[in-house]
Amino acid sequence: MSDAPRYIILLGAPGAGKGTQAEILREHFGLVHVSSGDLFRENRAKQTPLGKLAEKYMEKGELVPDDVTIQMVMERIARPDCVNGVVFDGFPRTEAQAQALDAAFAREGKKIGATLLVNVRDELLIQRLSARWFCPADGSVYNLLSNPPKQTGKCDKDGTALEQRNDDKPETVTRRLQVYHSQTAPLIEYYRQAGLLREADGEQNIEQVQAAIVKIVEML
């Protein structure tokens, strides 16, 4: 196991469990969890110009344009906390984003350690996304199927009433999956060709997926 900073990409459809596994990698390896979806949601909550722009795409289940997405993520990873390694969750989602990341890393002499593909069938993704709820106060994510709150509808940590993301509602979920297959899935081949692709069976329970990905990252 090397001491060099690790830069790991989690690739997979919405609902594959990238956010959950990214948090586990953050804790286990001291990485910074960079979620483009969370960055957009923070901007949307503050109604920044970027947040207002992103909102229009997010609510339809479409991707936010590459230029603003790339700029936002590049600014985030330029912050000093990222020098010890990053786990990317939800970025890159298009070939243009992957190329922009490659170009930035080439300039800075950094290397992507691995792209972990979390595989889950569409039928299961639809079930999982419709069962996903979150706490608007602290951002904790629950799943009524695999990780329910102790008290129905309430956050375990602070009791706040849980909410469902607008884009987890059925009409938008279908569109997000189409967008994943047409725009993001080509990255599987992109990273396979670069020799960086590793795969995990995302249909196992959280602990089993965790064990598989921790093992892969430990070997880097």
User: Is 202 near ligand AMP (CB under 6 A)?
Assistant: no
Check if the beta carbon of residue 167 is closer than 8 Å to that of residue 59.
Answer: yes
Is the N-terminal amide bond of 5 cis, ω within 30° of 0?
A: no
H/E element, 63: none
Among 110, 128, 176, 198, binds ligand AMP (CB under 6 A): 176
**132 assigned to active site:** yes
Interface mask toward ligand AMP for 5-44; x: CB under 6 A:
---------x---------------------xx--x----
User: Is 168 near ligand AMP (CB under 6 A)?
Assistant: no
User: Is 191 near ligand AMP (CB under 6 A)?
Assistant: no
d(CA 118, CA 209): 8
**169 assigned to active site:** no
d(CA 168, CA 149): 18
Q: Which stretch binds ligand AMP (CB under 6 A): 59-67, 110-118, 128-136, 212-220?
A: 59-67
d(CA 144, CA 133): 8
Among 11, 16, 22, 64, binds ligand AMP (CB under 6 A): 64
Among 6, 93, 132, 198, binds ligand AMP (CB under 6 A): 93
**Shortest distance in whole angstroms from residue 68 CB to ligand AMP:** 9
**198 assigned to active site:** no
Residue listed under structure tokens 């906390």:
81
User: Is 128 near ligand AMP (CB under 6 A)?
Assistant: no
Question: Which of 18, 41, 110, 128 does the annotation list as catalytic?
Answer: 18
3-class SS shares of the chain: helix, strand, coil, % to 5: 50, 15, 35
The nearer residue to ligand AMP, 29 or 91, going by C-beta atoms, is 91
User: What distance separates the 2 farthest-apart alpha carbons in the chain?
Assistant: 50
**93 assigned to active site:** yes
User: Is 91 near ligand AMP (CB under 6 A)?
Assistant: yes
Check if the beta carbon of residue 64 is closer than 8 Å to that of residue 184.
Answer: no
| 185's tokens | 């899935």
Check if the beta carbon of residue 89 is closer than 8 Å to that of residue 35.
Answer: yes
User: Is 132 near ligand AMP (CB under 6 A)?
Assistant: no
**79 assigned to active site:** no
d(CA 210, CA 128): 17
Which residues sit at the interface with ligand AMP, rule CB under 6 A?
14, 36-37, 40, 57-58, 61-64, 69, 90-91, 93, 97, 167, 176
- The catalytic residue positions are 18, 93, 132, 165, 176
